[in-house]
Amino acid sequence: MNKERYKQLTDKIVPKENKVKNAITAFLVGGLVGLLGQIIVFVLENNFDVAHKDATSIMIVILIFIASLCTALGFFDNLVSKAKAGLIVPITGFAHAMTSSMIDYKKEGLITGIGSNAFKLTGSVILYGVVSAYIFGTIRYVFFGG
Amino acid sequence: MIFLYSFLFCGLVCLIGQIILDNTNFTPGHVTGLFVVIGAFLDSFGLYDKFIKWFGAGTLVPITSFGHSLIHGALNAAEDKGLLGLLAGMFSLTSVGIVAAIVFGFILTMLFKAKD
């Protein structure tokens, strides 16, 4: 079977993903996560007298904990495959990627499994974040004085 | 109103991410990496700080704020220590998120098994 024929056949069988529906789901789910973040900050500031800076940090910790726990319990993957970018782009995606790469390689041991694979997916975020922040920061500091 | 703005901002960032995912052959890793770089870029003009002021905590939730916090911490430290501060302060604001993700991830990995 040549390649074109193969592609025609698979195109027929593989269900087409509805891009509009995906986009709306991502918008709604992502928006709800952002709204949840704002609600947590609001409650912490007004009901627990936490300073604004600390409240945002605690909010990040809470979201990361929820995402890590849901990943460890095993149902976050299902949610991600439904909501897609709505859960991947917020900080929940970062926690999900970290926890799932650790838990997937757990059976290979503490060092060669968990240790060396912990940053397998999140490594790119940290690497390119740091490199780009360093370059942009240097440019701004040298040319515009910080 | 700030709740609505948070919803709209975070939703819009996720919407852009989903459009990129659907129309290119980028993986989620590409998208998150790209968004971090965009966040760092936007903050090099101080633009992201204005987003935070206008739209509330919803701007701190998407991964773009990770890039923003990296460069923000670096520039804050650079005011005191010069170029060395860029290296010293890089993680000063993001360490909360990174350490929380590592520690919770590790503890939960110890407690739970992978589901097949």
Structure tokens at A32: 């709800």
Q: pTM above 0.90?
A: no
Tell me what pLDDT residue A135 has. Answer: 92
Q: Has residue A1 got a pLDDT over 90?
A: no
Q: A64-67: which pairs have CB atoms within 8 A and are 24 or more residues apart?
A: A64/A91, A64/A92, A64/A94, A64/A95, A64/B97, A64/B100, A64/B101, A64/B104, A65/A95, A65/B100, A65/B104, A66/A92, A67/A91, A67/A92, A67/A93, A67/A95, A67/A96, A67/A99
pLDDT in tens, chain B (116 residues): 889 999 999 999 999 999 998 888 888 888 999 999 999 999 888 888 889 989 988 899 999 999 999 999 999 999 888 888 889 989 999 999 999 999 999 999 989 877 65
Tell me what pLDDT residue B115 has. Answer: 67
- Tell me the per-residue pLDDT of A33-64, one tens digit each, with 9 for 90 and over: 999 999 999 999 999 888 888 899 999 999 99
CA distance A4 to chain B (A): 19
Tell me what pLDDT residue A20 has. Answer: 86
Backbone angles phi, psi at B61, to 5 degrees: -85, -45
CA–CA dist A116, A118 (Å, integer): 6
Interface of A with B in 65-94 (CB under 8 A): 65, 68-69, 71-74, 84-86, 88-91, 93-94
Q: Select the more confidently predicted residue: A5 or B63.
A: B63
Q: What 3-state DSSP class applies to A119?
A: coil
- Tell me the per-residue pLDDT of A117-143, one tens digit each, with 9 for 90 and over: 889 889 889 999 999 999 999 998 888
Residue burial B8-18, b: 16+ Cβ < 10 Å; e: rest: bbbbbbbbbbb
Residue bearing tokens 């990174």: B98
Tell me what pLDDT residue A15 has. Answer: 67
The proportion of chain A whose per-residue pLDDT surpasses 70, expressed as a percent, equals: 96
Structure tokens at B32: 């998150």
Tell me what pLDDT residue B36 has. Answer: 92
Cβ of A138 within 8 Å of Cβ of B58? The answer is no
Would you place residue A21 in the very low, low, confident or very high pLDDT band (cuts 50, 70, 90)? Answer: confident
CA distance B45 to chain A (A): 8
Structure tokens at A88: 């991947």
Closest listed residue to residue B70, CA positions, set B91, B47, B49, B99: B91
How large is the average pLDDT for residues A63-75?
A: 91
Interface of A with B in 6-65 (CB under 8 A): 17, 19, 22-23, 25-35, 37-42, 56-57, 59-61, 63-65
Q: Select the more confidently predicted residue: A9 or B12.
A: B12
Among partner residues B7, B63, B109, which is closest to A89 by beta-carbon distance? B63
CA–CA dist A129, A135 (Å, integer): 10
Structure tokens at A86: 């709505």
Tell me what pLDDT residue A16 has. Answer: 67
Q: Which residues of A touch B32 (CB under 8 A)?
A: 88-89, 93-94, 97, 124-125
Q: Has residue A144 got a pLDDT over 90?
A: no
CA–CA dist A130, B67 (Å, integer): 8
How do the domains of chain A map onto residue ranges?
19-93, 105-146
CA distance A86 to chain B (A): 5
Can you spell out the DSSP letters for chain B?
Answer: -HHHHHHHHHHHHHHHHHHHHHHS---HHHHHHHHHHHHHHHHTTTHHHHHHHHHGGGGTSBTHHHHHHHHHHHHHHHHHHTHHHHHHSTTTTTHHHHHHHHHHHHHHHHH-----
Its sign, for the CA torsion B57, A96, A131, A112, is positive
Tell me what pLDDT residue B103 has. Answer: 94
> Taking all residues of chain A, what is their mean pLDDT, rounded to a whole number?
87
How large is the average pLDDT for residues A89-100?
A: 91
